[in-house]
Structure 1
Amino acid sequence: MSEKGLIYFVSDVHLGAPALKNNRERELRFTQWLDEIKNDVAELYLLGDIFDFWYEYKKVAPRGFTRVLGRIADLTDRGIPVHFFTGNHDVWVFDYLAEETGVTVHHEEFITEIQGKKFFLAHGDGLDASDKGYLFLKKVFTNKTMQWLFSRLHPNFAFWLAHKWSASSRLSKSDIDDDFMVVKDGMYKFAADFLKTMPIDYFVMGHRHRMTKQQMDGKATFILLGDWISSFSYGVFDGKNFELKKYNGSID
């Protein structure tokens, strides 16, 4: 990684979400943001749920998203590392994105050092020990046998089924976590427990669709990146400070 430039983090874009009506506008805004950061980005972390649904057959990949995929490929072609973390909506990423766009795919949390600071990076799903229902579903979704059985479905039916599931998700509801308190959240509690085993400077996650920058015990900072549904937010690290920002670019 270059010592010059900025490190960018973004999550929960949910491209192609059937529960949302402005998918084209959001995709154009996201690609505009990618265009604007390309001259100062040293490394880009896509921390899950970039796509609202993704499944790769051996010979079939999801239709659409060509603008976004092209921008990502342009970054990696220029030698800029791009890290793609699978989320609960795009968990079924296998080798297509890595081969076609050059991203490094992470299926689990990732600990790395960036300009002298230690980062714990993850989408965040599955870290809340109290969410028993989702933990069971994640075991089903990541089970190799279940993935093989799903791949036996015709793509038309498989994608229809997945989009029906997604259309009933919390994205279609306007009252998402109105009483959210970060210090009581299961992901925050996970981070607090993890600090007992290893020092971390920054925990950076998505999943909750909330923008949060919370100081923890010691020098650790817990960060939730927000989303590209209502806040159009992202994180940026300059080697000394981590900032949460909102992208205000408009689509003419």
Structure 2
Amino acid sequence: MTTLFIADLHLSADRPDITDCFLRFMAHDTHGIDALYVLGDLFEMWIGDDDDSPFHQQIKQAFRALTDRGVPCYFIHGNRDFLIGQRFSRETGVQLLPEHTVIDLYGTPTLVLHGDTLCTLDEAYQKYRKKVHNRFIQWLFFRLPLRTRQNIGQKMRGNSHKNNRAKSQSIMDVTPDEVLAKMTEYGVHQMIHGHTHRPDVHALSLHGQPATRIVLGDWYDHGSVLVCTPAGNTLETRDFQ
């Protein structure tokens, strides 16, 4: 009995080393598992389900092969791929989950999320996030030609990298009080998220009871996987080859 969690792969045609590691993971690590959860930023950029590039088709085929084997796969949007929609879900068999979802992880209620909503000190990002998640703005964006959306996406990606370099590490990390508030809101003592690229297992105290926050790693230098079994949870890496 095994459930796997990944996040922050930031897949793009510009990083074939990450793509190759991901495809090996999908082909070899997912046999016999109970489920795979992808907690956002699977792609470096996603500007719409109508982008049928060969690269995107390759990634979708890997998910389709997984779900065709009967392995449930779940996805929570990240800040890079929040525009993934129902067409992607139909083509891959991947089930889209709400941004905050409680699952039963071998008897432990667990809140899973991307993690960007926990970074409340980054006020500029939170304002940006509220704007781009506006349904009307998204409706307008999808009315633009694909090439125009790609150009906008590239510009936004460049601005994001530039802005993040100017921010302190503390602002870009989660706000501890927000972590406890979300756990309290959803009635859990275990949380799994990505986004911060700081893999670790944090022991917390929530209303006098022990709690756990597990942070997934990114895939920039090697693959990062959280392996969960009834016996416990382990953060593992996968080498690029």
TM over 0.5: yes
> Which amino acid in the other structure matches residue 45 of structure 2?
F
Q: For residue 34 of structure 2, give the secondary structure of its aligned residue in structure 1.
A: strand
What is the DSSP-based 3-state SS (H/G/I as helix, E as strand, rest coil) of the residue aligned with 1:112?
Answer: strand
- Equivalent position amino acid for 2:121 in 1: S
Unaligned regions of 5+ residues in structure 2, if any?
none
Structure 2 residue aligned with 1:82: 73
1: distance between equivalents of 2:22 and 2:130? 31
Percent identity (aligned): 25
Distance 1:237 1:176 in 2: 33
Query: Is 1:15 paired with 2:26?
Result: no
Superposed displacement of residue 172, structure 1? 10
Partners in 1 of 2:24 and 2:167 — Cα distance?
Answer: 27
For 2:227 and 2:70, locate their aligned partners in 1 and report how far apart those are by CA, in whole Å.
Answer: 19
Distance 1:190 1:75 in 2: 35
1:221 aligns with 2:209: no
Query: How far apart, CA to CA, are the structure 1 residues paired with 2:22 and 2:167?
Result: 23
Which one-letter code corresponds to 1:61 in the other structure? D
The residue correspondences of 1:25-174 to structure 2 (distance < 5 A) are: 25-56=17-48, 60-63=50-53, 64-170=55-161
Cα distance in 2, alignment partners of residues 171 and 242 from structure 1: 35
Q: Deviations over 1:4-55 (max 9, x none)?
A: x3100000000117xxx5x111101111111121223210000000011113
- Number of aligned residue pairs: give it: 237
- 3-state SS of paired residue (2:51): coil
Alpha carbons of structure 1 residues 181 and 223: separation in structure 2 relative to 1, 3 Å: farther
The alpha-carbon deviation at position 179 of structure 1 amounts to 6.4
After superposition, the C-alpha distances for 1:195-237 in whole angstroms (9 at most, x for unaligned) are 4445424210011011111111133211110100134211010
Matched-pair contact (CA < 8 Å) for 2:121–2:171: no
Residues 105-163 of structure 1, C-alpha deviations (whole Å, 9 max, x = no match)? 12411011121111100001123332221221111111111111112221112111201
User: Which secondary structure does the structure 1 equivalent of 2:117 belong to?
Assistant: coil
Contact 1:38 1:75 in 2 (8 A): yes
Distance 1:104 1:133 in 2: 30
CA 1:70–1:224: 2 relative to 1, 3 Å: same
